[in-house]
Amino acid sequence: MTTKPILVALDYDNKNHALQLIDRLDPNMCRLKIGKEMFTLFGPQLVKDIHDRGFDLFLDLKFHDIPNTVAKAVAAAAELGVWMTNVHASGGLAMMEAAKKALLPYGDKAPLLIAVTVLTSMSDADLKLLGINVPAFEHVQRLAKLTQQAGLDGVVCSAQEATVLKTLLGKEFNLVTPGIRPVGSDAGDQHRVMTPPQAIAAGSDYLVIGRPITQAADPLAALQAIHQSLK
Ligand SMILES: O=c1ccn([C@@H]2O[C@H](COP(=O)(O)O)[C@@H](O)[C@H]2O)c(=O)[nH]1
């Protein structure tokens, strides 16, 4: 198992609430993720605040645009010194290659660059509505292969797809899996879910976990329980 597989998804509209939680967490126990909501509200200063507290940060902005624009956005993320960032694989091969190329000047300081395959909130029926007439399971494999061809470091997928992707793409190719739900927690808008121990057993490298921790009555206890369940 990867050291520190838990990535806590901080989806807060209040910076102080997020920092109050962060200040109770141990950077040796987890990494953090911020996405579109917090970055739009609080910007690069929040990235700095998180780094000052010693945490690795996944900047989950899921860039999806023309290659030139995405390349520049990914370079801007690298300037912030984040540990990981991402694009949408459906932006295509040229876009992903341009993003990877933009990180070359950063050498071993470059963030890990991964691509979202099919959002974990989406079901086969949702894909059908987009004119994609194959199961999510199959579409994820296609996009993950394309991501590896573009030279990226891994993908965002559901843990339900992890075993097949590890066999197909090798153990070095990182699988970052949201849609993680401890037994008894509400799935909410997530469709393709797994529990933390199931996800690790299936081959996930990193578990993205938001509401089961952040909306818990005691977020620290919730994180510790998940951590314990992985031992
Ligand atoms: O396919 C994806 C890609 C990203 N996410 C993000 O992960 C977290 C999940 O939060 P929960 O509260 O545990 O559902 C959230 O920030 C999403 O933007 C995803 O869920 N699925």
- Please check whether residue 21 is in contact with residue 48, taking contact to mean a CB–CB distance below 8 angstroms: no
pLDDT digits (tens, 9 = 90+) for 140-187: 999 999 999 999 999 999 999 999 999 999 999 999 999 999 999 999
pLDDT above 90 for 3: no
- Closest Cα to atom 2, ligand 1: which residue? 119
Residues 6+ apart with CB under 8 A from 8: 21, 25, 30, 31, 32, 33, 209, 210, 213, 214, 223
Sorting pLDDT into bands at 50, 70 and 90, what band is 9? very high
pLDDT digits (tens, 9 = 90+) for 15-68: 999 999 999 999 999 999 999 999 999 999 999 999 999 999 999 999 999 999
- Please check whether residue 28 is in contact with residue 4, taking contact to mean a CB–CB distance below 8 angstroms: yes
- Helix, strand, coil percentages for the chain (3-state, nearest 5): 50, 15, 35
DSSP helix/strand/coil, 119: coil
Q: Candidates 174, 208, 226: which one to mutate for ligand 1, based on the most atoms within 8 Å of Cβ?
A: 208
CA–CA separation, 56 vs 183, rounded Å?
27
Mean pLDDT for all residues in the chain: 98
What's the pLDDT at 204?
98
Which whole number is the average pLDDT over 203-225? 97
Check 4, 15, 62, 72 and give the catalytic one: 62
Q: For residue 227, count other CB atoms closer than 10 A to its CB.
A: 16
This model of the complex carries an ipTM of 0.99
CA–CA separation, 196 vs 21, rounded Å?
21
- Ligand 1 site residues (CB inside 6 A) read 9, 11, 35, 116, 119-121, 156, 178-179, 188, 190, 208-211
What's the pLDDT at 226?
97
pLDDT digits (tens, 9 = 90+) for 84-143: 999 999 999 999 999 999 999 999 999 999 999 999 999 999 999 999 999 999 999 999
Of 61, 29, 1, nearest in space to 206 by CA: 1
Atom of ligand 1 nearest to the CA of 211: 12
CA–CA separation, 87 vs 183, rounded Å?
30
- Please check whether residue 111 is in contact with residue 59, taking contact to mean a CB–CB distance below 8 angstroms: yes
What's the pLDDT at 1?
83
Residue showing tokens 């970055």: 39
Atom of ligand 1 nearest to the CA of 122: 1
What's the pLDDT at 109?
98
